[in-house]
């Protein structure tokens, strides 16, 4: 009995150690987004809230912005619409955030740095990301508002459509790695950056990245926000902290998708220089490479947002069903052949 309680306490501590940095990353991802898009549009971005860690250093302008924002959101009034389903209205943001955080349980941050090293890791991820839809659907329905409801229907339909293409991309990864365990998937990409799966699985890599954008309701697939069409989406009626929780979920999902891309296609925590003469002596801890790769993928997320105009809704559906699903299906067959003929260096 004592042992199991101790085990429970240690697990909770581990969870806190994982969740707190993720929340910090979420907060600063919002700042990164505003700064990067700002510079891409030749502006400075947020630059008022100064966070000076050391007195005299003045170049950290804007770095206190996420903290200021969260304090502001916490003190805002939460307005619940008339005749709304109160319980579901309040629990919808939580239902959106919980699976986005639960999925982190199986993510290996470095060699052995994983909360639950389960065999069915990839399936678990797929199951957790598929639950995220409930937050959106329930929020739209519980708001008792037609705008919110229409927005919820749109984004829910979009998310479940792109989930299929994403699932098929995962099938490609598990075929290539021969395992559903995320640690083993990373280890099967051992070698330099040419050994990672992004080369043999290139079409799946691209499909997964774009589906990831659609899955997290990011631009150019952000019809959930669609300022020019439907004011906002499923979260029109939300205010204050409840609204913020939806955004926490969106950004946590972005970081999750970025780390999944890192693990499945970009070699996880492995150094890109392994096996390359001279360069292979650069030694940095695995967590550094993992973080660098995740940041790199996240930069692409933000870059796309600054670059592309929003898709029309029917075009989103066409892209998901008629372009991505056939591409993934064809590449799974091609991949089967590559594995059958033991194409070096990946499947030798």
Partner 1 sequence: MIKFTFYLFSLILIFASVRVVTVKNPVHAALFLVLAFFSSAAIWLLLQAEFLAIALVLVYVGAVMVLFLFVVMMLEINFSQLREGFVRNLPVAGLVGALILLEMVFVVGAWQNVPPPVATEIPNIVALGQVLYTDYFYPFEIAAALLLVAMIAAIALTMRPHNRAKYQKPDQQVSVNREDYVRIVNIPSEAKD
Fill in the per-residue mask, 176 to 195: x = in contact with partner 1 (CB under 8 A), - = not in contact: ----x---------------
Structure tokens at 15: 């969870």
Q: Does 162 bind partner 1 (CB under 8 A)?
A: no
Fill in the per-residue mask, 109 to 148: x = in contact with partner 1 (CB under 8 A), - = not in contact: ---------xxx--xx-xx--xx-xx--xx--x-------
Identified binder of partner 1 from the candidate list 1, 42, 54, 348, rule CB under 8 A: 1
- Piece of the chain touching partner 1 by CB under 8 A; list 154-162, 189-197, 237-245, 293-301: 154-162
What's the CA gap between 175 and 129, in Å, rounded? 20
- Side-chain-side CA neighbours of residue 249 (13 Å): 28
Q: Does 153 bind partner 1 (CB under 8 A)?
A: yes
Q: With the CA atoms of 335, 341, 342 and 347 taken in that order, what torsion angle do they form, in degrees rounded to the nearest 10?
A: 0
What's the CA gap between 279 and 260, in Å, rounded? 26
Q: How far is CA 91 from CA 20, 99, 111, 140, 143, in A?
A: 21, 13, 36, 12, 12
Q: How far is CA 347 from CA 170, 179, 333, in A?
A: 17, 13, 15
- Piece of the chain touching partner 1 by CB under 8 A; list 150-158, 205-213, 220-228, 292-300: 150-158
Site for partner 1 in 84-113 (CB under 8 A): 88
- Side-chain-side CA neighbours of residue 337 (13 Å): 4
Identified binder of partner 1 from the candidate list 63, 89, 104, 149, rule CB under 8 A: 149
Looking at beta carbons only, is 163 or 225 nearer to partner 1?
163
Structure tokens at 171: 């099938």
Q: Does 169 bind partner 1 (CB under 8 A)?
A: no
Looking at beta carbons only, is 117 or 229 nearer to partner 1?
117
Structure tokens at 255: 């970081």
What are residue 61's DSSP bridge partners? Answer: 50
**Please, what is the minimum distance in Å from the beta carbon of residue 9 to partner 1?**
13
Instruction: Let me know: does 129 contact 215? Beta carbons within 8 Å.
Output: yes
**Please, what is the minimum distance in Å from the beta carbon of residue 288 to partner 1?**
31
Fill in the per-residue mask, 302 to 321: x = in contact with partner 1 (CB under 8 A), - = not in contact: ------------x---x---
Question: Which residues would be at the binding site for partner 1 (CB under 8 A)?
Answer: 1, 4, 88, 118-120, 123-124, 126-127, 130-131, 133-134, 137-138, 141, 149, 153, 156-157, 160, 163, 180, 314, 318
């Amino acid at each position: 009995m004592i042992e199991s309680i101790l085990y429970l306490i240690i697990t909770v501590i581990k969870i806190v150690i994982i969740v707190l940095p993720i929340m910090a990353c979420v907060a600063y991802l919002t700042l990164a987004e505003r700064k990067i898009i700002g510079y891409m549009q030749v502006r400075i971005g947020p630059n008022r809230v100064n966070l000076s860690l050391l007195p005299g250093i003045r170049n950290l302008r804007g770095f206190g912005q996420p903290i200021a924002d969260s304090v502001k959101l916490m003190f805002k009034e939460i307005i619940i619409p008339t005749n709304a389903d109160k319980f579901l209205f309040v629990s919808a943001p939580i239902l959106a955030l919980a699976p986005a955080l639960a999925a982190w349980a199986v993510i290996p941050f470095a060699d052995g740095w994983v909360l639950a090293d389960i065999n069915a890791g990839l399936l678990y991820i797929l199951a957790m990301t598929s639950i995220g839809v409930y937050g959106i659907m329930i929020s739209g329905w519980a708001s008792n508002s037609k705008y919110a409801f229409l927005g919820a229907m749109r984004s829910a339909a979009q998310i479940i459509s792109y989930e299929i293409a994403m699932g098929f991309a995962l099938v490609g990864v598990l075929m290539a790695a021969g395992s559903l365990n995320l640690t083993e998937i990373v280890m099967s990409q051992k070698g330099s950056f040419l050994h990672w799966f992004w080369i043999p699985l290139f079409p799946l890599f691209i499909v997964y990245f774009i589906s990831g954008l659609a899955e997290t309701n990011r631009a150019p697939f952000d019809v959930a926000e669609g300022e020019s069409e439907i004011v906002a989406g499923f979260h029109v009626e939300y205010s204050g902290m409840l609204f913020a929780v939806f955004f926490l979920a969106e950004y946590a999902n972005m970081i999750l998708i970025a780390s999944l891309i890192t693990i499945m296609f970009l070699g996880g925590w492995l150094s890109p220089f392994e096996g390359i003469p001279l360069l292979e002596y650069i030694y940095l801890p695995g967590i550094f490479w993992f973080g660098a790769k995740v940041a790199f993928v996240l930069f692409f997320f933000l870059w796309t947002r600054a670059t592309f105009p929003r898709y029309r809704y029917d075009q989103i559906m066409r892209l998901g069903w008629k372009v991505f699903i056939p591409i993934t299906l064809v590449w799974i067959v091609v991949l089967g052949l590559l594995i059958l003929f033991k194409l070096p260096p990946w499947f030798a």
